[in-house]
């Protein structure tokens, strides 16, 4: 996998592996009166897959939004490879290597498939490189996601749910992120499609070394592909362990994860 | 029959000017959901700048180019100084700010240039064209007006469709959140939108002022017509703005031609009310439009 020559000291993930290490320290964030995250501390090492689990309202989506800059935390720190990124704008964080696929919002339906993919290149450093590499990046995406190649000139709104999810993830990958945040990527998808999406996430992490933080309602599926798991409940971390151990902890599963 | 042709052609020519104003309103509305009430005022101001340049240099085209450049500058400065600070606050704030900007510009124009009506030169002959012995009802200048707006519109459309900057603007207009998550500096995109709107307004001002004369309030009516055209076409739709402008121009031409020129404003407002009642989203819009 090629990557553009870096003037900024190798900030983007390359084939050699280089997913960012994420550290969330004592984060407090919320909306108005409501505290969605209540002193949350989480770690995700480079090139790992971390599943963030919990019931509705647990704070999972707010966590991802805080990391990507959509929500400004009230206190606490967010560190990417040891660099403090707390309170930066979403645009800056996207350019620093964070790709966030929000729930149900990963694509812009009024743009074509190809235009959506091109959005991924907007986070690249240096506009001159953008033009030269863009063609190669798009070709790579079409090769990996054949269904997108067939529909490249169609409006993204005409795609099925599973295809849109593929497009959203493809778009995120074109940005060559070091940290990929996925919010409920399997929501609304048929089980078969969901399995494909999960498969793809695993392959991406292994191949490109991207650090993945995955929020999922479907805890079983998420734990089956993750290295580590974090369980949130009402804005607090109630469990953080290797995914295998979490899956084996029957009491925890029953209490917080519903299976 | 000849009359009908004359009214149609002259309606198209004026319609293009309404389309230019409508387009500038759509440019700002799509990106920010803000209706720029100062659009006509900005166009008037840049036209005054043009007339000063023409007066001092003797060259129409120098004035033309300077006016367009001034439009870009005025749009950019307005956005950066008074509009951007209102971002994130209640929407009514920004609306009132644009009204304030309109009052400011009209006041300044009165102070600097005086309130008297000034004539503005036309780029080309305003003598009516004829085919054989039939008067067409339009002049070479009218043809220039239509061509200028058409060319500008096509250039803008091509820019939006084929360039990365255009893609950034469209993405930011459709979904600012997703755009920002992709690293697009939406604040910058909005400023560029205002700069382009300023350019279009300046163009409209120069093209219409030979017919209306130039005075601090001269663009008020044109603004209302441009706004009506934008509503007809759908505030979200650039194509709608152009078509709305043409439809309105032609409708008003028939109205003033067959019913007398005093009903023009009445007919325009009547059309606006009807469209807002029957299909407030406009002809070309798919989505709901919030009422300002």
Q: How large is the average pLDDT for residues A233-240?
A: 92
Chain B residue with CA closest to A134: the answer is: B164
> ipTM score here?
0.87
pLDDT tens profile B188-204: 999 999 999 999 999 99
Q: Which of A233, A231, A169 is nearest to A199 (CA)?
A: A169
- Nearest CB to B178; choose among A95, A105, A123: A105
Question: In the prediction, which pLDDT does A127 show?
Answer: 62
pLDDT tens profile B259-290: 888 888 899 999 999 998 988 888 776 544 44
- Cβ <8 Å between A108 and B175: yes
pLDDT tens profile B7-19: 999 899 999 999 9
pLDDT tens profile B209-259: 998 899 999 999 999 999 999 999 988 888 899 999 999 999 999 999 888
Question: In the prediction, which pLDDT does B289 show?
Answer: 43
Give chain A positions within 8 Å (CB) of B183.
91, 94-95, 122-124, 175
Between CA B33 and CA B176 the distance in angstroms is: 12
Between CA A168 and CA A163 the distance in angstroms is: 9
* Cβ-based burial of A184 (10 A; exposed 0-12, middle 13-18, buried ≥19): buried
The upper half-sphere exposure of residue A225, i.e. CA atoms within 13 Å in the direction of its Cβ, equals 25
Question: In the prediction, which pLDDT does A7 show?
Answer: 40
- Cβ <8 Å between A102 and B170: no
pLDDT tens profile B54-111: 999 989 999 999 999 999 999 999 999 999 998 888 889 999 999 999 999 999 999 9
- Is A11's pLDDT higher than 80? no
**Would an 8 Å CB–CB cutoff place A94 in contact with chain B?**
yes
Question: In the prediction, which pLDDT does A18 show?
Answer: 66
Between CA B207 and CA B196 the distance in angstroms is: 17
Q: What is the DSSP string of chain A?
A: ---PPPSSSS-S--TT--PPPEEEEEEEEEETTEEEEEEEEEEE-TT-EEEEE-STTSSHHHHHHHHHTSS--SEEEEEETTEE-TT--HHHHHHTTEEEE-TT-SS-TTSBHHHHHHHGGGGSS-HHHHHHHHHHHHHHHHHH-HHHHHTTTSBGGGS-HHHHHHHHHHHHHHT--SEEEEESTTTT--HHHHHHHHHHHHHHHHHH--EEEEE-S-HHHHHHH-SEEEEEETTEEEEEEEHHHHHH-HHHIIIII--
């Amino acid at each position: 996998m090629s990557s553009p020559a870096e003037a900024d000291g190798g900030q983007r993930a390359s084939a050699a592996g280089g997913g960012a290490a994420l550290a969330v320290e004592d984060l407090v964030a919320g909306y108005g009166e409501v505290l969605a995250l209540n002193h949350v501390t989480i770690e995700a090492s480079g090139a790992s897959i971390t599943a963030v689990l919990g019931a509705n309202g647990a704070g999972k989506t707010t966590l991802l939004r805080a990391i990507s800059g959509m929500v400004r935390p009230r206190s606490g720190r967010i560190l990417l490879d040891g660099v403090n990124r707390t309170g930066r704008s979403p645009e800056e964080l996207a350019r620093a290597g964070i790709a966030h696929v929000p729930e149900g919002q990963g694509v812009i339906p009024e743009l074509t498939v190809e235009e959506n993919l091109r959005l991924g290149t907007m986070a690249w450093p240096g506009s001159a490189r953008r033009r030269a590499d863009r063609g190669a990046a798009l070709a790579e995406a079409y090769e990996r996601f054949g269904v997108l190649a067939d529909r490249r000139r169609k409006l993204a709104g005409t795609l099925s749910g599973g295809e849109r999810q593929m497009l959203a993830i493809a778009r995120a990958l074109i940005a060559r992120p070091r940290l990929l945040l996925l919010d409920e990527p399997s929501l609304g998808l048929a089980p078969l499609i969901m399995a494909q999406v999960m498969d793809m996430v695993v392959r991406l992490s292994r191949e490109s070394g991207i650090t993945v933080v995955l929020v999922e309602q479907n805890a079983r599926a998420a734990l089956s592909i993750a290295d580590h798991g974090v369980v949130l409940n009402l804005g607090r971390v109630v469990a953080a362990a290797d995914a295998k151990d979490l899956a084996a902890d029957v009491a925890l599963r029953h209490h917080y994860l519903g299976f | 029959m000849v009359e009908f042709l004359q009214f149609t052609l002259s309606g198209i020519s004026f319609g293009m000017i309404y389309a230019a104003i409508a387009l500038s309103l759509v440019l700002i509305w799509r990106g920010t959901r803000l209706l720029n009430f100062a659009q006509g005022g900005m166009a008037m101001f840049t036209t005054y700048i043009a007339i000063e340049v023409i007066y001092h240099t003797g060259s129409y085209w120098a004035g033309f180019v300077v006016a367009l450049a001034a439009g870009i500058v005025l749009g950019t400065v307005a956005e950066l100084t008074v509009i951007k600070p209102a971002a994130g606050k209640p929407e009514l704030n920004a609306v009132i700010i644009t009204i304030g900007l309109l009052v400011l510009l009209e006041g300044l124009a009165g102070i600097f240039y005086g309130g008297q009506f000034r004539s503005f030169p036309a780029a080309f002959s305003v003598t009516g064209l004829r085919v054989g012995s039939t008067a067409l009802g339009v002049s070479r200048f009218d043809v220039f007006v239509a061509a200028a707006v058409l060319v500008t519109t096509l250039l803008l459309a091509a820019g939006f469709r084929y360039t990365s900057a255009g893609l950034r603007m469209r993405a930011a207009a459709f979904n600012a959140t997703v755009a920002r998550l992709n690293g697009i500096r939406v604040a910058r995109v909005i400023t560029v939108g205002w700069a382009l709107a300023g350019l279009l307004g300046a163009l409209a001002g120069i093209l219409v002022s030979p017919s209306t004369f130039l005075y601090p309030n001269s663009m008020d009516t044109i603004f209302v017509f441009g706004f009506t055209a934008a509503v007809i076409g759908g505030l979200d739709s650039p194509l709608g703005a152009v078509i709305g402008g043409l439809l309105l121009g032609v409708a008003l031409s028939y109205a003033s031609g067959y019913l007398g020129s005093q009903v023009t404003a009445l007919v325009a407002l009547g059309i606006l009310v009807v469209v807002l009642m029957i299909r407030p989203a406009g002809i070309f819009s798919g989505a709901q439009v919030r009422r300002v």
